[in-house]
A and B are shown apart, each in its own frame.
Chain A
Amino acid sequence: MVPALDLFLQTLLNGLLIGGVIATFTIGFQLAFGVLHVIDFAVGGWVVLGGYLGYYMAAGLGVDGFLAIPVAFVLFGAIGYLIGPILYNVRNSRTARPELMALALTFGLFTLLRGGMLTAWGFNTHSVPTALSGESLAVGPVTVPLIRVAAAVFAIAIAGGLFLFLYRTRYGLAIRATAENRQNAALMGVNIRRLSANVYGLYAGITAMAGVLMGAIFSVNPEVGLRYTLFAFFVAVLAGLGSVGGALVAALLLGVIEAFVATYVGSSYSLLAIFATLFLVLLLSPSGILRHGL
């Protein structure tokens, strides 16, 4: 095959695989927005914390990085479960501007996480070692790092599980109902406050799990959280805030855009390209271009 075409396919595949991992935490992000009506600046913070958990479990306990994935879910799910009600109370308080206050709260939380991590762990970059690190798989002319394949498989499993949960269980129905109209959902007997806590916990857990994988594929330091927050926002804007179906498509698109810019233009331009796309979408179709509703 033509080398140029090989590179193209390679880039496309890489982008799709990364997009899959991005999809896992952006779906959670959208879900949290749908239920809580707060955009969570802290999303990048949860990703980075997951990555650090993986690194410290591998470096400190000597276990494989993959083992950190379930631990991340339980640990950060619990933390999210505790934070959820606070966020809910601020968002629904009778201050003059609850939306603004809730936004400020997540922004403060993100800043607190970033500053705390910088203080505790410094600016150094770490990578999460796993059994698959360094291995790669050849598919025809294209070689893919095995860790990315594993991450994509994980992403598909999580996304699939989440969709089954949302569309096939009674609790999933309650979540969707709340996202659509919280007053009517409350009238039908949904305890919105408890549901918000559960959803935020679920979202924080999933995000931290994705963080372990991101730490294994790339690497982790406290400052990369900004990048993941931008990713979540990009997907939210493209898909329309709160749209879960669109988030999957938008995340894959994001992965591909990033991979192509990084390969063909230079990785320092990838954030620029992402922002340019984001801005164009805001300008042309402000409510998102992939909107399907939840």
Chain B
Amino acid sequence: MKQRRTGLLLLIGVIIVLALLPMLVNNYWLRIATGALMWAGLACSWNMLGGYAGYINFGHSAFFGLGAYVTALLMGDKLAWPFFATVPAGIVVTALFAIMIGAPTLRLRGAYFAIATWAFAEVLIQFTSVMDFTGGIGGIGLPPFLDERFFYFAMFGAAALTYLITWALFERSRFGLKVKALRDHEPAAEAIGINTSLVKLQTFVLSAVTASVFGAIFAYWVTFINPKSVFGGDITDQMVVMVLLGGLGSLWGPALGGVGLFVVNRVIWMYWGDTAFYIAILGAAIVLVVLFMPNGIAGLFSRDGAKSGAVLDKAVGKVVGDGQGGPN
């Protein structure tokens, strides 16, 4: 009980600091804070499916990018939609694509889903690079709106909403129990009457749609997007690292991992600029976390965090023939 009160106080403190931040820091740091909030939110959105449902999405950048491109296209000279009207449009488009990708592949093993999502993101890069209406490789510009505070609060609102939804749906409702049940034992979940295909699809669509909202705000914020900058594999890599680092399937893990990695990213960027070395670091981080810290930072603090020590032993070299290796 006492722990819970400390947690609540901490949360209120964080929210107050975040709400007052624009008055405390200059635009440079506000931009960094905006980016950190975006990544914390994106990590949470990836975690919905990856952490709670146990399906790895290696093409989450596709949905981030779809949100960005829909906003960019609708706000362009010809249509000139207002920003807030483009967000729901992006949500609808993203949801449709998520259903299209998810409906056939979520019924299968996780491997097929991983393949399909990864390929989908790669193909969107190709598609937007060859099509004229998306501006090709050169990309597409948006009407500039240079109000850092607006974007800070937009990202703040979107991130807060994402975490609120995650908390309410996955931690505090029957739906969350269903999702966790199918993650832990899918046949058993089906046996007690859960429509696992539907639950997985709902989770996937929710996860995709939240990513698209961040994509929409991002596009308006940076005022210029191209295929690599919003669909690029590095974006997904970063989300995967953030969630693995923070802790799969935990509510606060992705926030910690997201903000932490984003700070590392900015430091590297300050010293070396855009470097391919960062991609290598991301890859090494995934490998190291999987091998030595499979429960992430959150796992170190949770009560069953003790398990991670045992897992380490396994990774370093014991033979286990527990029959868990069969397909699915």
Contact = CB atoms under 8 A, between A and B. Distances in A.
Interface of A: 33, 37, 39, 41, 85-86, 89-101, 103-105, 107-116, 118-119, 122, 182-183, 186, 192-193, 226, 230, 233, 236-237, 241, 266, 268-269, 271-272, 275, 278-279, 282-283, 286-287
Interface of B: 50, 54-56, 58, 101, 104-105, 107-112, 114-116, 118-120, 122-123, 126-127, 129-130, 183-184, 233, 237, 240, 244, 248, 275-287, 290-291, 294-295, 307, 310-311, 314-328
Contact of B314 (A39, A94, A122, A230): A94
5 contacts: A95-B311, A104-B286, A105-B286, A111-B283, A183-B326
Q: Across chains A and B, which 7 residue pairs bring their CB atoms closest together, nearest first?
A: A108-B286, A112-B283, A115-B279, A115-B280, A111-B283, A118-B276, A275-B123
Given A92-B320, A100-B110, A101-B290, 6 more contacts: A94-B314, A103-B110, A112-B280, A112-B283, A114-B283, A182-B325
Given A107-B286, A282-B105, A39 B111 contact: yes
Contact of A114 (B118, B122, B279): B279
Contact of B54 (A97, A283, A287): A97
Nearest to A241: B111
A109 B291 CA distance: 12
B132 to A, nearest CB: 12
Among B184, B281, B311, B316, the most chain A Cβ lie within 10 Å of the Cβ of: B311
Given A108-B287, A193-B319, A275-B119, A226 B324 contact: no
B317 A37 contact: no
B239 to A, nearest CB: 12
A268 B120 contact: no
Contacts of A107: 56, 58, 240, 286
A271 B55 CA distance: 25
Given A39-B114, A94-B320, A119-B277, A105 B287 contact: yes
A99 B315 CA distance: 14
A92 B321 CA distance: 7
State the majority secondary structure of interface residues on B.
helix
A275 B327 CA distance: 25
Contact of B315 (A39, A89, A100): A89
Contact of B283 (A100, A115, A279): A115
A261 to B, nearest CB: 12
A236 to B, nearest CB: 7
A226 B122 contact: yes
A89 B290 contact: no
Nearest to B320: A92
Contacts of B233: 111, 226
Contacts of A91: 325
Nearest to A236: B115
Contacts of B280: 111-112, 114-116, 118-119
Contacts of A100: 50, 54-56, 110, 248
Contact of B107 (A39, A108, A186, A286): A286
B184 A96 contact: yes
Nearest to B290: A105
Among A33, A37, A93, A110, the most chain B Cβ lie within 10 Å of the Cβ of: A93
Contact of B112 (A105, A241, A272): A241
Contacts of B237: 111
A39 B117 CA distance: 14
Contacts of A119: 275-277, 279-280
B58 to A, nearest CB: 6
B315 A275 contact: no
Given A39-B111, A119-B276, A286-B107, A93 B248 contact: no
B279 A111 contact: yes
B183 A97 contact: yes
Contacts of B119: 230, 233, 275, 278-279
A118 B54 CA distance: 31
A237 B285 CA distance: 29
A284 B295 CA distance: 37
Contact of B104 (A93, A236, A272, A286): A286
A72 to B, nearest CB: 22
Contacts of B107: 286
A167 to B, nearest CB: 23
A269 B130 contact: yes
A202 B208 CA distance: 38
Contact of B114 (A103, A230, A278, A286): A103
A152 to B, nearest CB: 26
Contacts of B275: 119
Given A115-B277, A118-B276, A89 B317 contact: yes
Nearest to A282: B104
Contact of B324 (A39, A85, A98, A114): A98
Among B110, B310, B319, the most chain A Cβ lie within 10 Å of the Cβ of: B319
A89 B294 CA distance: 13
A94 B307 CA distance: 9
Contacts of B326: 37, 182-183
A115 B325 contact: no
B104 A283 contact: yes
Contacts of A85: 317
B226 to A, nearest CB: 16
A107 B279 CA distance: 12
Contacts of B284: 108, 112
A83 B300 CA distance: 27
B222 to A, nearest CB: 23
A266 B105 CA distance: 29
Given A233-B115, A286-B112, A272 B240 contact: no
